[in-house]
Amino acid sequence: MRLRARSGSRSRTSRAVIPGWSAGLAVLAAALLARENPAQEGERSPSRADYRIEARLDGETKALDGKLELRWTNRSGEAVRDLWFHLYLNAFSNNRSTHLVESDGKLRNKDVKEGWGWSRIVAIRVAGAENGGFEDVLPSLRYEHPDDDNEDDRTVFRVELPQALGSGETVRVQIEWESQLPRARRRTGYKDDFLLVAQWFPKLGVYEAGRGWNCHQFHMSTEFYSDYGTYDVTLDLPIEYEGKVGASGFKVNDSTKEGRVEVRFVAPSPADQRREDAFGKRPLVHDFTWTADPRFQIYRQTFHFQDWAERFPEEVAEARRIFGEEPKLRDVEVTVLLHPEHWRQRKRHFQATCAALFFYGLWFGEYPYELITVVDPAWGAAAGGMEYPTLFACGTRLFATEDMHTPEGVTVHECGHQFWYGLVGNNEFEAAWLDEGLNTYTDSEVLQRVYGLDRGTTDYSRVPVDGVRVADLPGGGAIGDALAARELRVPLPFVGDPKLRFLSPSGALDYWRDQPLFTFVSQWTDPRRADRIGYLADPDTDPIETAGWKYVDRESYGVNSYPRTGVALRTLQGLIGDAAFYKGMRHFARTWRYDHPYPEDFYRSFQEGSGETLDWYFRELFQGTGTVDWSIAVEQKKRVERRGFFQAPGGEFLEQERADPEEEESEEEKPKTPYHVEVELRRKGELCLPLTVRLTFADATTRDFVWSREEQQAATWKRIELDSEEKLASAVIDPERRYYIDRDLSNDRWYDEQDKLAPWRWAERVLAQYQHFLHFIQGLGG
Amino acid sequence: MSSLLDDDLTGPRPPVFWGALRTTLGRTPIWLTCWLAPLCLALVLAVPWRGFYQGVLANRYEPGSVVAFMDEGFRFDHRAELASLKRDTAGIAAALALVVMLFGVFAGGGWLQVFLERTQGHSLRRFLWGGARYFWRFARVWGVTLLTLALFSWLMYGWPWKMATKLLFGAEDGDLEVLVSERSALYVNWAQDGLYGALVGLLLVWGDYTRTRLALQDTRSAVWAGLCTWGLIFLHPLRTLRPMALLFVIEAVVVIALGMLARNADRGLGPESGAGTLLVLFALGQAALLWQGIARGARYHAAAQVSKQLVPPLAQPDPWAGRVGGPGGPQYPIDSTDDYGVSV
């Protein structure tokens, strides 16, 4: 479903801003948390939200009731008159919510008819002063729709403060709420006894100076955004969950009483809250999620930096060289919660998590928490592939091998989100690419280094078989499918399906039909190349820098937020070199840790760290929709022997001839550079990046040429002509493969010698495929 | 070769499947023909691909770089041309699928003609004659086969299966996500696919026996012959299905063994590989298909042997009722003009 056209400005948010002078008068002598410097009027640093939550789950109905006390310290530099909250679960309350409307009433391609979820505020009270009384603000509660005018959407509400809250002041908020967990279809809820409970409590939005409350409705394509702080959460659960609960943070208490279990978590852990991280900051988190399942099997191991440093010494050396400091990362306890059928993959989950902790830590700064929890969601729960502070859900399948990058790919990616989004808390509504895209870039780098190429497979009855088909199965269209005995479309009222399906897709039968051992080809893909393929699915519809719900459709959101950003970053790395790139990224990660950067903050911070001027690059690649396709063409000629009449010194014309036409030229007669080469470079598209072209000659010598950005801006082509002693063997654009942004890599190189075998090799596969199919289908006749 | 052609019933008899394989192996021209037909059709489909790759690879790829495997980047960069080629080839292949099914109809008649009359020599000629003789009858069997396939598909993947999963597991519309674990869903999937595969296998065996019955009894009704065949299978499941199952197992073992060799050869391909490895790959694939063709022929022989034992001959009208004397003697109708007498 296409979203309604929006203007380019940010969506409406609250503008309840008190002028500075009256805000200064409103500063109260509230007790401020001691650890951070409070922002005074006009100054800005991230506000802070500390939650203490108690919640009780009814095991039968999956109703979750709770109460919380929130201490919010306003450090926006402005005074605030109201508070805006998210009630994310209301996105699943009915099919009129913005979330369900945008997804056509479907979650995971299925109409939602039952398993709804909702959240209702029962009481809400606020108090300003530390010892002040609480005032009931429930009568002022109003549901807001800052992004659309959908009155049925209840995912955002606001309440009025009895008096303005000045910058530097803290408000305490007590909320009681009732909720019904939804059947897990999009990240949160339950499935049988499995629980993954995310975005489950009334969560404060983010107040931004000059912008007001940034508290968007829960869209189909957007994720989350909230202030950093601490969480102290006590859960009262049925007894069957004893010992089977995981959550953000550290478990400090676990007791049973009257057939129930009470478990308490603190995030970050008490020890982490007392120490400074590698960048000299006190760790904080901006969300709390928990999970439980009586079927969980628990695997615990510790990540040790030294183990990985010994495995990748060259990476450590490179980091040392680039950053000028000795790399060292803290130990992290890794807890993996697995379902029984995936128990055999426990070490793989652990290793993939460690791979992310190692490389992301090496490049962007140490993971500051003492623990991390990895969740294998229940079958059918649709809760996998999602990140939360110090906890993430991955997802795997039976029969997956390491070279299929399952579960390694999703595990590295979701663990990587601890850094991009977890530690650097971008606004996932408005700038999803700032975490997804940076993470996509990084996880591909990790996967390629640790796991190598990704193996392509084809499934038969959920069992992956190595390789893929070269050609399509016979059929296509109504006539084709009928001829190939797949299906015949006829009206069959008594069956209700207008098709006679002869041969249904069926694992064992299809395997016998396809004979993969004879017909399939291996397919191996570099994860970085996979990013490029993802980007090219929709390379030029929307700019990367687009708010999450404002892309033309979900595909554009997916392409731009993930692979296109990854490709743009990788290309940037190719442009400025590894050292400058990683310095820029690390500087951004350090500067904005526990804070909320926007795109302009990234651009500025990156340039500061890298020492490069790159405004043009960010403007063209992140804010524009330009693409590029470079191509190369080569013409190579050998000097022909002299023929015809040539004028002699005396003036007469004499025919050039030899006594023996087969006689070879003497050394004096032979041209020194018998080969004349013309290399033509072309550019299609708007982007201009300096390009290296490498010519390799028959004697293995090489010559590099550069087509500069300025030259490309002046003309869309360039010709290189030269005379050479040796024959040109190849001409390749971007020989080091520094750029991944090219729309078509097939025209980027030229080789004098043609591959004679490869066409026969692939034709043999096609022949085998169709011959086996025809033999199989012949059996239906006799 | 006479021992392979000689399926004399008087001496001690080998197991049906073994005798079937031996006899079929002796019919070289026939199984070579059956192998050649799909090969020629597949060549029609493969030739454009060679041209495509030759054009695409040309001077653009380093020799040897796309021999071993094809990365997704290559397919993606050429997706437009590949999509067009795939679509066109798939469409032509669908038409050729119909042709090859009709060839199967023809070949069934040919095999049965040769095995039922116990041809000695000129087997290819008798094969062709038999294919033509039984073609329309066996085409009707083909039609019934397709309809029965549709029934089985509906049973195992349509409403009945969805109803069964709803009753057993509470799965709406066959959605197995309601199950407790992936392993449970896997078992249900395997059961579904396995049952369907078994039904299709049974149907193909039924087809062989039905065609054999039609040829043996020289009848015309495919439906009646089919019904009788179901009865035969249900009454004598071991005798009818055992030789077929054994033949399939032998076929599968040989094919899988050759497949493993082919896979190893394929994985051995690299930038430095030459035409030899490719020829080995091709040869292994053709060997498997040849063997599968022989196995198919052997199933007809087995069906013929079993049917001769189990299928009673139809009561035929006495061909000599209106004639004087038996075979070898005067055979002319008696009427008022006839004044010959026979003296003993």
* Out of A433-437, A487-491, A666-670, A719-723, least confident range: A666-670
Does A163 lie at the interface with B, CB-CB under 8 angstroms? no
The pLDDT, as a whole number, for residue B343 is: 46
Q: With contact defined as beta carbons under 8 Å apart, do A762 and B49 qualify?
A: yes
d(CA A303, CA A333): 6
Cα angle value A591/A387/A59 (rounded, 5°): 140
Does A341 lie at the interface with B, CB-CB under 8 angstroms? yes
Does A45 lie at the interface with B, CB-CB under 8 angstroms? no
d(CA A289, CA A391): 7
Q: Go through B141-169 and write b for each residue having 16 or more CB atoms within 10 A of its CB, e for each that does not.
A: bbebbbebbbebbbebbbeebeeebeeeb
d(CA A225, CA A86): 10
d(CA B20, CA B4): 9
More confident residue, B73 or B227: B227
Please tell me whether the peptide bond between A270 and the residue prior to it is cis, using omega within 30 degrees of 0.
no
In chain B, what is the straight-line distance between the N-terminal and C-terminal CA atoms, in Å?
46
More confident residue, A607 or A10: A607
How far off is chain B from A489, nearest CA to CA, in Å? 12
**CB distance A509–B60 less than 8 Å?**
no
- Residue range B245-280, pLDDT digits in tens: 999 999 999 999 999 999 999 998 988 888 999 999
Chain centroid to CA A97: 26
Does A518 lie at the interface with B, CB-CB under 8 angstroms? yes
- For residue A761, list chain B residues with Cβ-Cβ distance below 8 A: 67, 269, 278
**CB distance A517–B45 less than 8 Å?**
no
- For residue A780, list chain B residues with Cβ-Cβ distance below 8 A: 101, 104, 142, 145-146, 149, 204, 207
d(CA B20, CA B247): 9
The one-letter amino acid at B245: A
DSSP class of A686 = S
More confident residue, B168 or B10: B168
Does A775 lie at the interface with B, CB-CB under 8 angstroms? yes
Of B71, B86, B104, the CB nearest to A529: B71
- Residue range A436-452, pLDDT digits in tens: 999 999 999 999 999 99
**Which residues are CB-contacts of A384 (< 8 A; sequence separation ≥ 6)?**
A376, A377, A393, A394, A395, A410
How far off is chain B from A740, nearest CA to CA, in Å? 11
Of B60, B70, B180, the CB nearest to A192: B180
**CB distance B50–A781 less than 8 Å?**
no
DSSP string, A130-177: TTPPPEE-GGG-EE--SSS--TT--SEEEEEEEEEE-TT-EEEEEEEE
The pLDDT, as a whole number, for residue A666 is: 59
Helices (H) and strands (E) in chain B, counts: 11, 0
The pLDDT, as a whole number, for residue B10 is: 57
Cα angle value A607/A608/A612 (rounded, 5°): 45
Q: With contact defined as beta carbons under 8 Å apart, do A241 and A294 qualify?
A: yes
Mean pLDDT of A307-319: 98
The pLDDT, as a whole number, for residue A561 is: 95
Q: Nearest-CA residue of chain B relative to A113? A: B172
- For residue A523, list chain B residues with Cβ-Cβ distance below 8 A: 69-72
* Average model confidence (pLDDT) across chain A: 90
Mean pLDDT of B320-330: 63
The pLDDT, as a whole number, for residue A2 is: 26
The one-letter amino acid at A146: P
How far off is chain B from A190, nearest CA to CA, in Å? 12
Tokens for A469, please give them. Answer: 């088909």
Residue where the block lists tokens 């010892």 = A131
Mean pLDDT of A575-579: 97
d(CA A486, CA B90): 13
Please tell me whether the peptide bond between A407 and the residue prior to it is cis, using omega within 30 degrees of 0.
yes
The pLDDT, as a whole number, for residue B271 is: 86
Mean pLDDT of A209-233: 94
- Residue range A495-518, pLDDT digits in tens: 666 778 888 889 999 999 999 999
Does A343 lie at the interface with B, CB-CB under 8 angstroms? no
Strand stretches in B128-248, DSSP E: none
DSSP class of A405 = T
**CB distance A504–B138 less than 8 Å?**
no
The pLDDT, as a whole number, for residue A141 is: 97
* Average model confidence (pLDDT) across chain B: 88
Does B74 lie at the interface with A, CB-CB under 8 angstroms? yes
The pLDDT, as a whole number, for residue B58 is: 86
- Residue range B98-139, pLDDT digits in tens: 999 999 999 999 999 999 987 677 789 999 999 999 999 999
**CB distance B284–A507 less than 8 Å?**
no
Q: How do beta strands A371-375 and A332-338 pair? A: parallel
Of B41, B142, B189, the CB nearest to A774: B41
